[in-house]
Structure 1
Amino acid sequence: MTLHTVNKSPFDKNSLENCLRFARQGHNILLFEDGVYGALKGTRFEGLITEGLKSYNIYVLEPDVEARGMRADNVVDGIKTVDYAGFVELAAESKRVQPWL
């Protein structure tokens, strides 16, 4: 299994869109740093994320959500939150980690 990581804001880069296009069924996707903006409800990316949740497990790093003044309930339904230990666990369980820059 592959863990895809996105740390760039989807408002600045197309990393999230590329990740969602190339990830495979059952892969994990982790949004962290400014990548968490892609997980917000009410943005133009909500539909992409909602569609992606049908095929992928999508996670956000909760400390990065909070550091940007947001709360977990601002995140699209179905996205799971993880802490730093959860991030490490996702990476350790994966055969590959694919960063999307």
Structure 2
Amino acid sequence: MAILHTVNKSPFERNSLESCLRFATDGAAVLLFEDGIYAALSGTSVEAQVAGALDKLNIHVLGPDLKARGFSEERVIAGISVVDYAGFVDLTAEHDTVQAWL
């Protein structure tokens, strides 16, 4: 069963990302959106943790939320794919279950 994990909280305010990365199984997808996009940025204290998770997870970040917070795609950790709203819809349609980490 393919699962899409969504994280919309900042990793600097909540432990949603940490929990998600701990419980997500190999090959699962993770979508970072709203304040969750901060986990996708290079040069932060969670960069090593997120980059390490790329070995087993497919991590995506919502581009419009990056832009809304003043960041460009150049700040995104290598290996994370940037998706638009249509890509968000595609991810939800491609997976059997969506697990929201609040």
In structure 1, the gaps of 5 or more residues are: none
- Equivalent position of 1:90 in the other structure: 91
Superposed CA deviations along residues 59-99 of structure 1, whole A, max 9, x for unmatched, are 00000000000001101000000000000000011000000
- Equivalent position of 1:56 in the other structure: 57
- Equivalent position of 1:32 in the other structure: 33
Q: For 1:32, give the aligned amino acid.
A: F
Q: For 1:92, give the aligned amino acid.
A: A
Q: For 1:79, give the aligned amino acid.
A: I
In structure 2, the gaps of 5 or more residues are: none
1:38 shift after superposition: 0.6
State the number of aligned residues. 101
- Counterpart-to-counterpart distance in 2, 1:18 and 1:10: 10
2:17 equivalent to 1:2: no
RMSD between aligned alpha carbons?
0.4
- Counterpart-to-counterpart distance in 2, 1:93 and 1:79: 18
Identity %: 57
- Counterpart-to-counterpart distance in 2, 1:12 and 1:57: 23
- Equivalent position of 1:21 in the other structure: 22
- Counterpart-to-counterpart distance in 1, 2:45 and 2:26: 23
Query: Post-superposition, which runs of at least 4 consecutive aligned residues in structure 1 deviate over 3 A?
Result: none
